Structures are given as C-alpha cells and as structure tokens.
Chains A and B, each alone.
Chain A
C-alpha cells in the first residue's frame, strides 16, 4: 500500500475542506519540512519562508495528489522544489549568520559544549558551500535519513545520480573538514 491509512484519511478530509485536517497534516510534517529548509538554507527566516511556501503549495494542490507515490515523498518533493526555487531567486543564502548568533547567545557552560558547537558550525558551513543539488542530497540523507531511492524520488532523478552526488559531496566535505 502506497498511502498509509492515516495519511489517506487526512488527505480526504483536507479535500473536503476540514480545517482540523489541515492542522493535523501540518503537525505531522512541519518538523520535517522546516528541518530540511533550515539545513538547506542555513538561515531561520529563510527556512520559515520556504516552509510557508511549501505548506501553502501543499494545501492548494492537495487535489492534484493522485496517490501514486507515498504522501511523504510528495511533501519532500514540494520542499525540495521550494528550497531550490528560493536558492535560484536569492543571490546568496546567508549560510551561518543565524547559527553563529545562536552560538554567541548560548550560555557557554563548558568548553566541551563550545567546541562541539564550533565543530557543528564548521560542518554546516562546509555543507553550505556545496552546490544546491549536492547539498539537498546531503540534507535529505542526514537530516531525514532517507534512502537513495527515496532521495531520488524526492529530487526527481535516478538513484545512481543520488549516489554520485553524495559521493562527490563526501569527497568535497572531507577535503574541507580535514583540518577540523
């Protein structure tokens, strides 16, 4: 079965215009959508814009969902498109500013916490230097833990292309993070 029963019922309720169903669907997917948007853009306000666009698109095109693929795949596809559209529209996403501010604001309880935080920043900064396609593959793999096939479906390419992108991304990241 491609569609889970809960998703199917929710989608049907959304098509009937039931407000609670929209809210429930939002609650089910909000963290996934926002996480991908944030890890891709590296900026909280941009991630909010991307997540907002994704859900508006999701609710407005609910009737177009035919159920050929899993609903979660469809949601992933929408958020991937929203991320890449935002990237195309903006000159440059501000990669680490918000995270950097968060680090500066965070209470420095211990040196270990600071070092961990610094390492995460460096990894994220390195990820943000990747091309949009490679970055998206990395985000879907490590933020959402998707398989190559699921990433391929979400990105509209073959599993081989995903493997190639991830391989190139790993090599680039290893070079950049070799001194961390």
Chain B
C-alpha cells in the first residue's frame, strides 16, 4: 500500500457532523418523512398491467395445430414426426416410365 493512497483516503473520508435534524427524526420516527419516495401509481401498476396484457395476448392467439407442414428438409420432417406420432401423409405413387416393357436387367435398374 502506498502512503499516497493512505493519505488520500484519510483526507477524503474525514468524519462529519451530524445534522441537528437527526434528533428530531429519532424522537418522532413515525412522523418524519423518509427519503425514499413512494412510487407513483402509474409505475406501481405498470408491471402487473404489462404481465396481464402479455397473458391475454397469449391466450387470445389462435391455436395453429393443424397448419400445413411443408418442408423438404429431412431433419425438419423427422422432428415433426418425433413430436407427432401419427402423421398423415399423402400416399406416394410410384410411376415407372419406360419405353419398353419393364424387365429386370442385370444391373437391377429400371
């Protein structure tokens, strides 16, 4: 610790005299006015009002459970399936187009 800091602290934190008003306040603590001001009514009601408004908005929001799901992302589809065990999907029709009659070739390609 430097002496300079020590000196500055001693110089800056000197004792002070208590105001005479202090004795008056101690004698009548109920009647004395504390320095903490009461919050204005508007501020007191601001937070509960905001919370109530948020709750109402959330409750009033339409439920969109049945909205159509459209995605080509396999991860998104997997996520949806995981959350909804029963997923209605359109039947996939496999159309095989070929110029000739479908025969199985050695390479197993159609």
Contacts and interface: CB of A to CB of B under 8 A. Distances in A.
Interface of A: 23, 26, 30-35, 38-39, 45-46, 48-49, 51-52, 55-56, 59, 119-120, 123-124, 127, 138-139, 141-144, 167, 170-171, 173-174, 177, 180
Contacts of A45: 35
B22 A120 contact: no
Contacts, number: 83
Given A142-B12, A142-B13, 17 more contacts: A26-B23, A30-B22, A30-B23, A34-B22, A35-B18, A49-B35, A51-B18, A123-B9, A123-B11, A123-B12, A124-B12, A127-B12, A141-B9, A143-B13, A170-B5, A173-B5, A174-B1
A48 B21 contact: yes
B19 A48 contact: yes
Nearest to A121: B12
Given A49-B35, A51-B22, A119 B14 contact: no
27 contacts: A23-B23, A30-B22, A31-B16, A31-B18, A32-B15, A34-B17, A34-B18, A34-B22, A35-B18, A46-B35, A48-B19, A48-B35, A49-B35, A49-B36, A52-B22, A52-B26, A52-B32, A55-B22, A55-B26, A119-B8, A124-B13, A141-B9, A143-B14, A170-B5, A173-B9, A174-B1, A174-B5
Contacts of A33: 18
B34 interface: yes
B26 A127 contact: no
B11 A120 contact: yes
Contacts of B32: 52
A119 B12 contact: yes
Interface of B: 1-2, 5-6, 8-19, 21-23, 25-26, 29, 32, 34-36
Contacts of A30: 18, 22-23
B2 to A, nearest CB: 6
A120 B23 CA distance: 29
B25 A52 contact: yes
For B12, B25, B34, B35, the residue with the greatest tally of chain A CB atoms inside 10 Å of its CB is B12
Contacts of B9: 123, 127, 138, 141-142, 173
Contact of A48 (B5, B13, B22): B22
